Amino acid sequence: MNAKKLSLSLLMGATLMLAGCSINIPGFSNNSSNNSATSSSAKATSSSVSTKSSSQNTNSQAASSDDEDENATDSNYGKYGNAGLAIIPKEMRGTWYSASENSSSTSQTTFGAHSMSQVESNGDQYNYTTYKQDQGSVNMNNYDDDDMSSTTKNWLSVTFPVINGTKWVRTQGWNQIAGYGSSYAVHYETINGKKVQVLLVSGGAESQIMGVYYRSASLAMQQKGVKYSDLHYITDAN
Summary mean pLDDT of the chain: 76
pLDDT for position 4: 41
pLDDT for position 68: 74
Per-residue pLDDT, averaged over 92-114, amounts to: 94
SS3 of the chain: helix, strand, coil, percent, to 5: 20, 30, 50
pLDDT for position 178: 78
pLDDT for position 143: 58
pLDDT band for 142, please (50, 70, 90 cuts). Answer: low
pLDDT for position 129: 98
148-151-153-155 Cα dihedral, nearest 10 degrees: -110
pLDDT for position 63: 40
Which of the pair, 234 or 218, is modelled with greater confidence? Answer: 218
| Maximum C-alpha span of the chain | 54
Q: How far apart are CA 156 and CA 189, in angstroms?
A: 29
**97: closest CA among 231, 196, 179?**
196
Residue 221: pLDDT above 60?
Answer: yes
What is the per-residue pLDDT across 189-198, written as a single tens digit (0 to 9) for each? 999 999 999 9
Per-residue pLDDT, averaged over 170-187, amounts to: 89
pLDDT for position 136: 79
pTM: 0.72
Contact 188, 48 (CB under 8 A): yes
Which of the pair, 85 or 149, is modelled with greater confidence? Answer: 85
Per-residue pLDDT, averaged over 154-169, amounts to: 93
Contact 64, 71 (CB under 8 A): no
What is the per-residue pLDDT across 20-51, written as a single tens digit (0 to 9) for each? 333 344 544 333 333 333 333 333 333 334 33
> Which alpha helices (DSSP H) does the chain contain, by range?
3-18, 146-152, 217-223
**59: closest CA among 178, 170, 155, 172?**
170
- Three-state DSSP class for 158? strand
- Identity of the amino acid at 107: S
Between β-strands 59-61 and 182-191, what pairing exists: parallel, antiparallel or unpaired? unpaired
Angle at the Cα of 234 (from 233 to 238), degrees rounded to 5?
A: 90
Residue 173: pLDDT above 50?
Answer: yes
Contact 95, 109 (CB under 8 A): yes
